[in-house]
Structure 1
């Protein structure tokens, strides 16, 4: 009884949010490759504390740097805080400043901006579209288990049901990130000034291979460092007596696909491709029904003449 109405509701939600959902899904597919590229390009021993300090001596002699970001797939170390309006990008192999942006890192950067704000400060629309995505999944579940067949409709329903847990996981964790839900509680309050950046580098380098560096920055009065450890992106608080592991932010780890090395990134690739298939097949199904040829009302009808008596 309710299935035709649910189907119509499902169809109209898709049509209304088709454009922002297409942008979110396609940029999500691109961003799925970021942890794959970072982890795949990491070479143990390629970056250590001495190398980073030498780069800082050359490009930040006044000690103004406030953050570091390392993109292993481009051998690019970005130093923030030295210039008021920009970062300094350095090739870790030569120590020379890079005057041009990286093709891959720029692709990831603009994809992230599109993914989070649609490049127009429309973060609210991203949130609403993500909720619409979850609503579409819920309506699909409410319509019940389908009959699978080798057709456009069959593939649409089959992909949706086979990958259902992953299709729920991705938008749900995205909303958790947007709403600040971490399941870890508030961060501890800093009791002292954060460790200076150069000292933090030496402390971290004494305990970890810095070729797995993702970023180092000060936040909430603490010096934090994010490192790839065993294929997982871990965040540590840098104290003078060593590194202290922060609680895992599982919504971020799951949504960004950086909790299990390359495999977690591939999981997000599969999720993105599944959403692309669902959107494409759904629109094809709608178009077939919408533009199906119907008999014209103006076309004369054939009449059957009875034989004369």
Structure 2
């Protein structure tokens, strides 16, 4: 295919999706640090099964909560599906102040997954990002020069595997591809307090991030050896779910610090590529002289009288 045509397609796809892509990449950068923050877990002695079940029964005496979410950075817990305040895990009382870090991460996740409330816009923008990278590959190896355009092309090529992995894993998540084999474990309905007691028998709840109903299945997510593992509750007890590799790779939850750092690098490079790409186009447009100026002949100064 003609490189001129590919360049135009690359340029106009970037311009059309520039704003949604910028929002998705920036929120992705914020979420990249979440595994590094959450993976550390709560301070030793902050939480155990008895304390956790006691807090659930205190703030949800009717047992109506659909789950819980724990933010290790702010040491707070939220009960899902009930009108209960955020709980300060250090004191056991209602949190006196909001958790700024947790609120930022929550906003970033909602925006990243449903931009302006539209999931289709995120999927369309992710497909556009994949198209942009594919066009870049089809245009062939760049000539590296010490210029803005040269650095733009060089950064894209030297980090291409990381860049491609981000939208491809996102699309796998959007279309439900997990690449896991075998039938899922049997489903079982279980009370939230019973789920806490069961997971605590074999796991350290200070590294627990969530227990909630997902797709009709009660699930728990807990950090173990730097990886965020998913478990479900069956008649046989707590059972590990098959690894969802696209999710692990995309969220950077397979090795906290290493995977989180790689995601930060990927997000920064994507932001730089998007901004420099738009700036290169803008600079080129500003440098062009209008057609009337190019077609007009030389200007002759009138003689002074």
Q: Give TM-score scaled by structure 2 length.
A: 0.91
Does the C-alpha gap of structure 1 residues 87 and 60 become closer, same or farther in structure 2, counting only changes over 3 Å? closer
Distance 1:159 1:255 in 2: 20
Partner of 1:43: 43
Instruction: Confirm or deny: 8 A CA contact 2:41 2:207 kept in the other structure.
Output: no
**What displacement does 1:199 show?**
1.7
**What displacement does 1:274 show?**
0.5
Distance 1:77 1:268 in 2: 26
Partner of 1:93: 90
1:124 is aligned, of 120, 126, 130, to 120
2:144 is aligned, of 130, 141, 148, to 148
- Deviating above 4 A after TM superposition, structure 1's stretches of 4 or more consecutive aligned residues are none
Distance 1:18 1:196 in 2: 46
Matches for 1:18-33 after TM superposition, within 5 Å: 18-33=18-33
Q: State the superposition RMSD in angstroms.
A: 2.1
1:111 is aligned, of 104, 108, 113, to 108
SS in 1 for 2:283: helix
Instruction: Confirm or deny: 8 A CA contact 2:68 2:211 kept in the other structure.
Output: yes
Partner of 1:265: 260
Structure 2 unaligned segments of length 5 or more: list them.
Answer: 301-305
Does the C-alpha gap of structure 1 residues 137 and 221 become closer, same or farther in structure 2, counting only changes over 3 Å? closer
Partner of 1:254: 249
Distance 1:215 1:187 in 2: 23
SS in 1 for 2:243: coil
**What displacement does 1:35 show?**
1.4
SS in 2 for 1:195: coil
Distance 1:204 1:216 in 2: 10
Distance 1:185 1:207 in 2: 25
Structure 1 unaligned segments of length 5 or more: list them.
Answer: 304-309
Q: Do residues 168 (structure 1) and 164 (structure 2) align? A: yes
Distance 1:221 1:190 in 2: 11
Q: Give TM-score scaled by structure 1 length.
A: 0.89
**What displacement does 1:222 show?**
3.5
